[in-house]
Amino acid sequence: DTGVSQDPRHKITKRGQNVTFRCDPISEHNRLYWYRQTLGQGPEFLTYFQNEAQLEKSRLLSDRFSAERPKGSFSTLEIQRTEQGDSAMYLCASSLGQGASGTEAFFGQGTRLTVV
Amino acid sequence: AQSVTQLDSHVSVSEGTPVLLRCNYSSSYSPSLFWYVQHPNKGLQLLLKYTSAATLVKGINGFEAEFKKSETSFHLTKPSAHMSDAAEYFCVVSDRGSARQLTFGSGTQLTVLP
- pLDDT tier at B94 (50, 70, 90 boundaries)? confident
B86 pLDDT higher than 80? yes
**B67/A contact by beta carbon, under 8 A:** no
Averaged pLDDT for residues A9-21: 97
Residue B38 · residue A41 · CB < 8 Å? no
- pLDDT tier at B100 (50, 70, 90 boundaries)? low
Kindly determine whether residue B44 and residue A33, on different chains, have CB atoms separated by under 8 Å: no
Q: Which of A40, A42, A104 is facing B49, going by the closest CB pair?
A: A104
Write down the pLDDT at residue A1.
Answer: 53
Residue B87 · residue B37 · CB < 8 Å? yes
Write down the pLDDT at residue A116.
Answer: 96
Averaged pLDDT for residues A55-81: 92
Q: pLDDT > 70: what percent of chain A?
A: 94
Closest CA to B9 of B88, B76, B112, B83: B88
**Residues A62, A100, A69, A30: what is their CA dihedral angle, to the nearest 10 degrees?**
150
Size of the A and B interface in Cβ pairs below 8 Å: 70
**Three-class SS state of B94:** strand
Using CA atoms, how far apart are residues B55 and B66, in angstroms rounded to an integer? Answer: 6
pLDDT tens for each residue of A81-92:
999 999 999 999
DSSP-assigned beta bridge partners for residue A5: A24
Residue A48 · residue A75 · CB < 8 Å? no
- pLDDT tier at A101 (50, 70, 90 boundaries)? low
Write down the pLDDT at residue A68.
Answer: 96
Residue A21 · residue A7 · CB < 8 Å? yes
Kindly determine whether residue A45 and residue B101, on different chains, have CB atoms separated by under 8 Å: yes
Q: pLDDT > 90: what percent of chain A?
A: 76
The pairing of strands B44-50 and A88-95 is unpaired
Task: Please provide the average confidence, as pLDDT, over all residues in chain B.
Answer: 91
Kindly determine whether residue A56 and residue B100, on different chains, have CB atoms separated by under 8 Å: yes
Residues of B in contact with A44 (CB under 8 A): 104
Write down the pLDDT at residue A24.
Answer: 97
B98 pLDDT higher than 60? no
DSSP-assigned beta bridge partners for residue A44: A36
Closest CA to B65 of B39, B87, B33, B43: B33
Averaged pLDDT for residues A12-22: 98
